[in-house]
Each structure stands twice: as C-alpha cells, then as structure tokens.
Amino acid sequence: MIARPVLAANWKMNLGPHEARAFIAAFAARSPEQRGTTVIICPPDVSLDAARDAVSGRADIHLGAQNIFWEDKGAYTGETSAPLARATGAEFVLVGHSERRHVFGETDEETGRKCVAAARAGLTPILCVGETLAEREAGETERVVLRQLHAGLRGLTPAQVAGSLVAYEPVWAIGTGRTATPDDASTTHRALRAAVGGVLGAADRDVPILYGGSVNTANAAALLAAPGVDGLLVGGASLDPVSWASIVAAGAARAAHR
C-alpha cells in the first residue's frame, strides 16, 4: 500500500528541465528521505527526464505526468501517451484536472478513457474531481464529484480502482487563495470514499483521497489533520522548494502521529 499522507506537487506549465533539476536538488537538500510519506512531483512532460535524473537515489520521491492521451501511439500531434510518459519516468498521472476539464473541455467520458490507458501502461491514475462555485452554491457538490468519480473509474477493474488515487479539488479553490475548510474537505471526502467503496464492492476501500486548492504552508497541517484527508495536491506553493519542503514536512509530522 502507498505510504500516506501523499504530498503531490502539480507544477502545471512551469519549470523547464534546468529549473526542475535545480528545484529538486534544493528540495532534497531541505527534505530528508521519508519512509512514512509519498512525495509525487508532476513536472511538465518536457522536464520529466531531467526530474528523473535529479530524483535518482531518493526512493521516497516519485514522478507523475499532468495529462496523457488515451491512445498508446499514432498520429496524434502534440499528445503524450501513457507508455511514453511511463518511459520518461512517470509512475503516476493526473487525470481530469480542473484545468483540463474547464480550459481544454475534457469530458467525463475522456477521463474514463485516460484512466484505462494509464492503468494499461502501469501508470497510477490520480483522478481529479471538483465542483465549480455555481455548482457548490446550487448545492450540487456531491452530485458533481460523484458523477466525475464514476465516469473516471468506470472502465477500471476493481484491482485497478484499488490501486488508484483520487484528488478532490474544488474549482473555486484552485489558485484563488480560497481554501475549503478542513470540515468541507472531510464532508466531500467521506462521500467520495463511500462511492469508491461502491465502485470497488468488497475490495480494498482505502483508496487515498487527496485535497487540493490553495494549499500553502499555513494551512497544510490543518488540512492534513482533517478526517478522511490522505494527502494534498498542491499547485502554486509547490513551485518554491522552500515552501514545498515545508508542506512535505507537515506531511511527515502527520505520518508520525498516525
């Protein structure tokens, strides 16, 4: 089973190969190797190779891609397949990130195909779900995230679902400085966990569910302490090695209290 809490960095469209190398060296110097946590860094595809070199020797730091296409190869200009991401050092992949859904129009159905392609290639999907502000204000949070969850995981076998991760990222909290309260996160995580149990049937129900959306050094510990929060998915605050090391340290402190 994956060590938790899981601390995942989503660099989005930032940090090229040289910067990725320098970042990882600076982060690793501040953050001693941990047994009780899992650190995942998701650089842009062009920096995966450099990041793989930079993390070698650190078994606790893993790499993820930010997106994949669902076909394994072919004439799909500009896309990265799951096997290509795997070959470049990724072990994980974000699927259905809110920016994929809302900026690039990715559909629920496409997230399902991407999760299947990821699992087929031996990449662990981190399925991202989250409601918009309008959906939240209309009281539709649970309906939306459960619809996204089912669509994303539908094509996986029970064993593949059990080996996946879920990230709850309310769209209104991403990059806005507005964070869900630990209670809000716990409430939605509880609904997601019950639904994962439904998808899984009698199999392992303990899929890690991460929270994301304006996580920073000041709120990481409280979010990690919220019942049902198994880790964090961090954007802006993961771009600075000092703040990222501090968030990872909050995760290590949490692991020590479990």
- Binding residues (CB under 6 A) for ligand 13P: these are 10, 97, 169, 174-175, 212-215, 233-237
**97 catalytic residue (yes or no):** yes
The contacts of residue 12 (CB under 8 Å, 6+ apart) are 44, 66, 99, 235
Q: How far is the CB of 232 from ligand 13P (least distance, A)?
A: 9
Q: How far is the CB of 62 from ligand 13P (least distance, A)?
A: 16
- Structure tokens belonging to residue 92: 């994980």
Catalytic member of 97, 99, 106, 110: 97
- Separation between Cα atoms, residue 19 and residue 14, nearest integer Å: 9
Nearest position to ligand 13P, beta carbon? 235
- Separation between Cα atoms, residue 233 and residue 178, nearest integer Å: 15
- Separation between Cα atoms, residue 12 and residue 17, nearest integer Å: 14
Q: How far is the CB of 133 from ligand 13P (least distance, A)?
A: 14
- Which uninterrupted H or E stretch holds 123? none
**Of residues 24 and 234, the one with the C-beta less far from ligand 13P:** 234
**Of residues 26 and 239, the one with the C-beta less far from ligand 13P:** 239
Q: Are 224 and 9 in contact (CB under 8 A)?
A: no
Q: How far is the CB of 143 from ligand 13P (least distance, A)?
A: 22
SS3 of 193-212: the string is HHHHHHHHCCCCCCCCEEEE
**Of residues 200 and 247, the one with the C-beta less far from ligand 13P:** 247
Catalytic member of 106, 110, 131, 169: 169
Residue 167 pairs in a beta bridge with: 128, 210
**Of residues 7 and 28, the one with the C-beta less far from ligand 13P:** 7
Would you name the residues annotated as active-site residues?
A: 97, 169
